[in-house]
Chain A
Amino acid sequence: MAAKTIISRPVYGTLSPQPGKHHLFVADAEGALAIIDMAGKAPAGFFDGAEIVFIAAPDGKHIAALEALKPAQLHLPPSFASLLPRLRQTLTNAHMGLRLYLSGTEGLIGQAMQVALEAGIDHTSMQTEHRGSLARRMQCVHCKGITENVTTQPATCAHCGLLLLVRDHYSRRLAAFQGVCINAEDRSEIPPMEEVFR
């Protein structure tokens, strides 16, 4: 569970069924379990108006369990990047009354939220639940490059190679935590690298 440290650090909740007829779920990996747990609390017929977009792990785990919920649509894209154009299209054509549910890794929740924000949904109107890895999507504040799946503190920028302190400072606009050079005064000073975001 993510603890609130500074105000921009996202805190996630537990998915709960919202009123309305149209429900869009975007989940990856263990995020499927959040949907399955929520289904127990959903009213009859809830999934008749639901589309589930699920980015599965390579072993296809949880796909069968999601199929069993009998959503109106189950979409299984190979990656988030390949999903983007279709997700944007869905949101562009959507009407008020569509409710959004995001579950899984922080990277997935953050990036799906970024697209939804661009489509005009307020972040407070989205249901979110964090499941699985605590790995972070990080932006290097120096070269602006994004590094995915950061698990260590400090972490090396995949673009410019600077050693970065991974801050709790989060940008919803960029869907990334901010990484700041940890040894700017003396580059020979190399603090120990620990795996903290598992």
Chain B
Amino acid sequence: MSTGTTKLDVVVSDVVPVNDLVTRFHFRRRDGELLPTFSGGAHVVVEMRDGDRTRLNPYSLMGSPLNTSEYTISVRRDDVGRGGSLFMHRSVKPGLEMVISYPVNLFSLDLRARKHLMLAGGIGITPFMAQTAQLAGSGGNFELHYTCRTASLGTYADILQQRYDRRVKLYHDDRDERIDLDRLLSTQPLGTHLYVCGPAGMINWVRDRAAALGWPSETVHFEHFAAPQPGAPFDVALAVSGKTIRVGSQQSLLEAIEAAGVDPPYLCRGGVCGQCETNVISSDGKFIHNDHWLSEEDHRSGCKIMPCVSRFEGKSLVLER
């Protein structure tokens, strides 16, 4: 069975539109008990049963870790994605019974830090909602820099400013407000840890500048769930189970493997955790790697693939599954 994916039977207790793009969903346990404890930065994988199709998407828990009577997630509508967020926005109503995974944290705070410097972009704010609540509850030292497109799309910016006042700094793209990143990174006290969550371009920018300015890699934490990208259908031979499968254009390789009745390990389904790493036995074609787990060297070697987010184009692909 898939590692760490013990399931929770929940019911949707509330659905709250937050702004034009983002809706918040509240889950409670169907048996009325408390949900498992979690720490700031944790995510759950939400099972979306959409007709005969099941999607499994990861979402950061954004509620306070001090309150486990409910879990909350915020979903940004993606009109050109594979449909998971649209399903959440259109079909998930209060009272719906759903299944989610136990929380898993791949983006946890390093509580040895003297100070936590957080950089959020867009919907990347969600893990910081939980982390700031956790730190505020224990007198932790943090500072949050949040970039959003416009004030009206600055999801939870108002709440964060209300709660934490000057510890939160907002930057609006439409007002040409930009983080003075080099200055910010050069003026942090020793013992500061850096956390960044947002679009891939932002994460890469922050990681590059931090490295160039002498931040040790152990002090730089980031999370970016890659959504599986649609693409051309392709065929895959699974050598261990002796099956040949077709990956549909809107399906991920991992979903296609699961649909064939093979149950590989997974955890985040977003190219981050490394659980579903799969060896390539042979290939004739081109890999489209979308994960943040494998090294560049691994990507070039053509010997490994992360089936949760990566695809393939070409004549043949044989995997050790």
B219 touches A96 (CB 8 A): yes
Say yes or no: is B214 at the interface (Cβ < 8 Å to chain A).
Answer: yes
Q: Give the residues in chain B near A125, CB-CB below 8 Å.
A: 216, 218-219
Say yes or no: is B1 at the interface (Cβ < 8 Å to chain A).
Answer: no
Contact of A19 among B114, B188, B211, B219 (CB under 8 A): B211
Say yes or no: is B113 at the interface (Cβ < 8 Å to chain A).
Answer: yes
Say yes or no: is A121 at the interface (Cβ < 8 Å to chain B).
Answer: yes
Distance (whole angstroms) from the CB of B98 to the closest CB of chain A: 40
Q: If A91-B190, A95-B189, A98-B190 touch, does A122 touch B216 (CB 8 Å cutoff)?
A: yes
- Alpha-carbon distance between A6 and B104 when the two chains are bound, in angstroms: 31
Distance (whole angstroms) from the CB of A31 to the closest CB of chain B: 21
Please encode chain A, from 85 to 106, with 1 for each CB lying within 8 Å of some chain B CB and 0 for all others: 0000001101111110000000
Q: Give the residues in chain A near B186, CB-CB below 8 Å.
A: 95-97
A19 touches B214 (CB 8 A): yes
- Alpha-carbon distance between A98 and B216 when the two chains are bound, in angstroms: 9
- Chain B residue total in the interface (Cβ 8 A): 20
Q: Give the residues in chain A near B34, CB-CB below 8 Å.
A: none
Contact of A120 among B187, B190, B194, B215 (CB under 8 A): B190
Say yes or no: is A124 at the interface (Cβ < 8 Å to chain B).
Answer: yes
Contact of A94 among B113, B190, B213, B218 (CB under 8 A): B190
Distance (whole angstroms) from the CB of A126 to the closest CB of chain B: 9
B114 touches A120 (CB 8 A): yes
Contact of A122 among B112, B185, B211, B212 (CB under 8 A): B112
Say yes or no: is B94 at the interface (Cβ < 8 Å to chain A).
Answer: no
Distance (whole angstroms) from the CB of A54 to the closest CB of chain B: 22
Say yes or no: is B64 at the interface (Cβ < 8 Å to chain A).
Answer: no
Q: Give the residues in chain A near B211, CB-CB below 8 Å.
A: 19
Distance (whole angstroms) from the CB of A109 to the closest CB of chain B: 17
Say yes or no: is B192 at the interface (Cβ < 8 Å to chain A).
Answer: yes
- Alpha-carbon distance between A196 and B106 when the two chains are bound, in angstroms: 45
Chain B facing A: main interface SS: loop
Please encode chain A, from 157 to 192, with 1 for each CB lying within 8 Å of some chain B CB and 0 for all others: 000000000000000000000000000000000000
Say yes or no: is A22 at the interface (Cβ < 8 Å to chain B).
Answer: yes
Q: Give the residues in chain A near B194, CB-CB below 8 Å.
A: 96
A96 touches B192 (CB 8 A): yes
Please encode chain B, from 206 to 222, with 1 for each CB lying within 8 Å of some chain A CB and 0 for all others: 00000111111011000
Q: Give the residues in chain B near A96, CB-CB below 8 Å.
A: 185-186, 188-190, 192, 194, 213-215, 219
- Alpha-carbon distance between A22 and B188 when the two chains are bound, in angstroms: 13
Say yes or no: is B191 at the interface (Cβ < 8 Å to chain A).
Answer: yes
Q: Give the residues in chain B near A95, CB-CB below 8 Å.
A: 186-190
Contact of B190 among A19, A20, A121, A124 (CB under 8 A): A121
Please encode chain A, from 14 to 25, with 1 for each CB lying within 8 Å of some chain B CB and 0 for all others: 000011111000
Please give me the residue from chain A that is nearest to B212 by CB atom. A19
Q: Which positions 53-111 of chain A face chain B at CB distance < 8 Å?
A: 91-92, 94-99
Please give me the residue from chain B that is nearest to A116 by CB atom. B190
- Alpha-carbon distance between A159 and B266 when the two chains are bound, in angstroms: 57
Please give me the residue from chain A that is nearest to B112 by CB atom. A122
Please give me the residue from chain A that is nearest to B117 by CB atom. A96
Please encode chain A, from 108 to 139, with 1 for each CB lying within 8 Å of some chain B CB and 0 for all others: 00000000000111101100000000000000
Q: Give the residues in chain B near A119, CB-CB below 8 Å.
A: 190-191
Q: Give the residues in chain B near A19, CB-CB below 8 Å.
A: 211-214
Distance (whole angstroms) from the CB of B181 to the closest CB of chain A: 13
Distance (whole angstroms) from the CB of A64 to the closest CB of chain B: 29
Q: Give the residues in chain A near B216, CB-CB below 8 Å.
A: 18, 99, 122, 124-125
B214 touches A120 (CB 8 A): no
- Alpha-carbon distance between A92 and B114 when the two chains are bound, in angstroms: 12
- Alpha-carbon distance between A120 and B113 when the two chains are bound, in angstroms: 7
Please give me the residue from chain B that is nearest to A96 by CB atom. B188
Q: Give the residues in chain A near B185, CB-CB below 8 Å.
A: 96-97
14 A-B residue pairings within 8 Å (CB atoms): A19-B213, A20-B213, A21-B213, A91-B190, A94-B190, A95-B190, A96-B185, A96-B192, A96-B215, A96-B219, A98-B190, A120-B191, A124-B218, A125-B219
A-B pairs with lowest CB-CB distance, top 5: A20-B214, A120-B191, A125-B216, A97-B214, A96-B188
